A and B are shown apart, each in its own frame.
Chain A
């Protein structure tokens, strides 16, 4: 068989056509059409549900962002006025910058802690299982409880951490009342509640790395750092990228952490875009601009996710 004949045969095989020709093509296509119809009918209820629950709200929200209506009425179409007003607001840009900082610290901070603990838990340490459960607690405990606990830890001068800071000679440290320290506090809080998720993701990824590779690297004389950077990280890259995508989405959309701990204050210093969107709609009753903020957040998230997915594809190809 020549190369050309082989390729032709392969194409025919892929399209379900044998050497003898298409055969009973009319009957087949009829059957396929009938099957498709049945499949479609089965799919229809779910499709309607998905459209009702997902597509319609997005379209409705899109309309809201372009109008001056409210939950009770559609309002009038105002074009891009809401988007323009939001983009011209210094408050929006301040919130956007802090959202970026919060997300970067949240993603990479929790990843560094998570992967460190995942590597540590791979070693044989006593009561490994107990540690695993304890380390999962920040993720498992409801965020309201966590936020209240942290408030107790840092809010007043009599709280444990300010007392400790005072005892160590740092003076009266205002973890929440000082705008800069409040930003650090909410970022650390985010890392604290998120690292167990990263730890689980990394732990599961590490189990998939073949131990023979490590043994081979040992034979080749690789150092611990080389093993980590040249073997472990590349081999868990896919899971790492996925966890980064997920954590980015979690951080950008994280409303309760900040709202419960600082409410976005003091003087808006810890306000992220999602908190700004909430206060714009539900405290200031400005629906259009609030929805516009949320839409812009969504667009940015889609772009970031797409970029990271491309990275995953690259990893798969390599």
Chain B
């Protein structure tokens, strides 16, 4: 998708939903200005997304409502926010000061609202967590992915990761060992192809952003990425070109499903279930989403060494943010402290939520029972980088409107997966598109 340049554009709002926009404005005008960081004893509104299966939100609500506030502070209320149109839901609620005091949401949502001055930075909260052990419990480097020049926009919640998966039985059938580098990966794909199985399994269809994530992960794998140290787009680098040439070679060699460019997540899972995909790339929850007898054969692969000898991958640290519009900032922080001390069950009871941000949760017997998750934490987590790579580690405002689930990234992924472009052309187009979207 092209960006429309020519003036300094802003974001959010839409004439197609002009009613919503107007209602927002009207609500904003009518509202009292919302809460403050003063000392109200009103309840803390916590909004959370459906991060797991059907068991997730009921248990999450139970944890939330069990919060016992200190004397004079309000209890916590819970609201599940669906992913459908969540951007509009949060934007209009925050604009009208009817939003939550604490919420999760999109991975880069906190940076967008921070830019609008709506976020209560988590610096004080994190300082307090240094004394109760929560801070040190986070995986190394995780907290800093949410650091902005003005403070911590949010705290890490669950980790959305991109890793390789393979079907052990299909690899055995093809007589190959799981790959460890790009060369051996190419050989594995070739061996699988002989059996009519695809080795570069992924999708980039309607609503499926995984394809673009995987391509970015290959760039990071090769020491590249999309942003330089000044947080400016740097797509057409030698590392990225080499990575995309490797991917294009996989596509043109017939190792990728020719329809992959338009595969939804459901299509991808169906291909795994149909044993058409023998090796591929997806999130940590892939095995849980695939149905049929194939599940027992699903194994997380090793991180691959690129041709330049580098390793790396992409992860999207989902997070929880606090808003300035709170009845009581101290209570927002107290609630979050309580929540982080009690959220372990969301993982130990297998609700389907992504990987935990805390080492103590990863160390529980329930978590350790899943060898795939253990492998991700042990082998992949240390090499993961964010969208900010290779220039930096911390997420920032422009990531949300340039690369994280944006149209130019989907178009880029689809053009590569269709195989009728060159690495340089595709990266140049991407560079110009995301440069136009920068604010």
Interface, chain A (partner B; CB < 8 A): 52-53, 56-58, 60-61, 64-65, 67-73, 75-76, 78, 81-82, 84-86, 88-92, 151, 155-158, 172, 174, 176-177, 182, 253, 255, 259-268, 271, 274, 276-291, 294-295, 298
Contact = CB atoms under 8 A, between A and B. Distances in A.
A86 B258 contact: no
Contact of A261 (B22, B116, B206, B271): B206
Given A68-B9, A287-B11, A266 B18 contact: no
B83 interface: no
B148 interface: no
B92 A155 contact: no
30 contacts: A53-B19, A56-B22, A61-B15, A61-B18, A64-B15, A68-B9, A70-B10, A70-B13, A72-B91, A72-B94, A72-B118, A78-B8, A82-B9, A88-B6, A155-B259, A174-B258, A177-B259, A253-B16, A262-B206, A267-B415, A267-B418, A281-B16, A283-B405, A285-B112, A286-B3, A286-B10, A287-B10, A287-B12, A287-B13, A291-B18
B95 interface: yes
A12 B428 CA distance: 77
Contact of B267 (A56, A155, A265, A284): A155
Among A52, A75, A151, A298, the one with the most B-chain Cβ atoms within 10 Å of its Cβ is: A151
B7 interface: yes
Given A67-B10, A151-B264, A156-B257, 18 more contacts: A52-B26, A61-B15, A68-B9, A69-B13, A72-B12, A78-B7, A81-B6, A82-B6, A82-B9, A84-B6, A172-B258, A177-B259, A262-B206, A263-B262, A265-B410, A286-B3, A286-B9, A291-B14
B2 A282 contact: no
B271 A156 contact: yes
Contact of B12 (A259, A260, A262, A285): A285
B259 A274 contact: no
Contacts of B16: 253, 255, 274, 277-278, 281, 294
B8 A68 contact: yes
Contact of A266 (B12, B14, B401, B414): B414
Contacts of A53: 19
A90 B2 CA distance: 8
B29 to A, nearest CB: 11
B347 to A, nearest CB: 31
Nearest to B92: A71
B205 interface: yes
A286 B4 contact: yes
A196 B11 CA distance: 39
Contacts of A65: 15
A88 B3 CA distance: 11
A7 B408 CA distance: 71
Among B259, B260, B270, the one with the most A-chain Cβ atoms within 10 Å of its Cβ is: B259
Contacts of A155: 205, 259, 262-264, 267
B66 interface: no
Nearest to A281: B14
Contacts of B5: 85
Q: Top 5 nearest A-B pairs by Cβ distance?
A: A285-B11, A263-B206, A57-B22, A81-B7, A85-B6
Nearest to A58: B18
Among A53, A61, A265, A284, the one with the most B-chain Cβ atoms within 10 Å of its Cβ is: A284
B15 A291 contact: yes
Interface in B261-294: 261-264, 266-267, 270-271, 274, 276
In this complex, the interface size class of chain B, counting residues with CB under 8 Å from chain A, is 35 or more
Nearest to A84: B6
B87 interface: yes
Given A52-B26, A71-B21, A266-B418, A288 B12 contact: no
Contact of A60 (B1, B18, B261, B418): B18
B262 A177 contact: yes
B382 interface: no
Contact of B257 (A157, A259, A262, A266): A157
Nearest to B95: A72
Contacts of B374: none
Contacts of A288: 4, 7, 9-10
B31 to A, nearest CB: 13
A60 B14 CA distance: 10
B89 to A, nearest CB: 11
B184 interface: no
Contact of A263 (B4, B91, B410): B410
B261 A266 contact: yes
B205 A262 contact: yes
Contacts of B411: 265, 267-268
B1 A283 contact: yes
A70 B12 contact: yes
Contacts of B11: 70, 281, 284-287
Given A57-B19, A262-B205, A294 B4 contact: no
Contact of B4 (A85, A264, A266): A85
Contact of B259 (A90, A156, A264, A278): A156
Contact of A289 (B4, B262, B267): B4
Nearest to B2: A91
B386 interface: no
Contact of B14 (A176, A253, A287): A287
A71 B264 contact: no
Contact of B262 (A73, A84, A176, A281): A176
A295 B16 CA distance: 9
